[in-house]
Structure 1
């Protein structure tokens, strides 16, 4: 399971939308292998060096996406980040796309929630909210 503050998730979504408006749309998370799939507002859940979410709007030359690390899996501060990533995301690098509409509907149904939990299984991405 990976946990992110809802305010940070909203900022990542907003940044992706702003980048898309300024730079011609959304990036394809599948490196073009599935044309047009995932080229809508959303976030990328990335397993790489740690696990993080990032904005998906097209970037200007040399631009950087907004990145927010999972509370449990930041390579600078979590000693066992690699083991945690391998256990809950897998050993290989990868990207999972999550639509902004799905997230925003979930957030709007529970305005008191403060954090988003993302859990991956073999076949699905399960989302849940917690209040701290």
Structure 2
């Protein structure tokens, strides 16, 4: 499982929406191979050097998206990040679009939740709210 602070997830979504409003929409996470898919408010879950979420609004020239690493898989904060990524995300790099409508309503119903848990299996992604 990968965990992200709920307030940070909200910031990533808000940044994507602001970038989209300022720069003409949302980026396609699938590099144009699936036109229109994933071009909504939300974020990308990325497995690369670590596992992180990233804002998805189109960016102005020279701008960078907002990135938040999972608590368990930050290459500068965890000595075993590579093994953890390989075990829970897979050895290959990858990207999954997460629609804001899948997580924000849950945040709004459970203000006590402090973390969003994201669990990956070979065929699905599941979400849980964690209160610490």
TM-score of Structure 1 vs Structure 2, range by shorter chain: over 0.9
Deviation, structure 1 residue 59: 0.3
Match of 1:19 in 2: 19
Q: Distance in 2 between matches of 1:106 and 1:83?
A: 30
Q: Does 1:5 align with 2:8?
A: no
Counterpart secondary structure, 2:129: strand
Q: Distance in 1 between matches of 2:56 and 2:35?
A: 15
Match of 2:49 in 1: 49
- Where in structure 2 are the equivalents of 1:76-95 lying within 5 Å? 76-95=76-95
Which sections of structure 2, spanning at least 5 residues, go unmatched? none
Which sections of structure 1, spanning at least 5 residues, go unmatched? none
- When the two structures are aligned, how many residues end up with a matched partner? 132
Give a deviation string over 1:32-72, Cα, whole Å, max 9, x none: 00000000000100000000000000001111000000000
Using the size of structure 1 for normalisation, the TM-score is: 0.99
Q: Distance in 2 between matches of 1:8 and 1:120?
A: 20
Say what the alpha-carbon RMSD is for the aligned residues: 0.5
Runs of 4+ with deviation above 4 angstroms = none
Using the size of structure 2 for normalisation, the TM-score is: 0.99
Q: Distance in 1 between matches of 2:10 and 2:57?
A: 14
Match of 1:96 in 2: 96
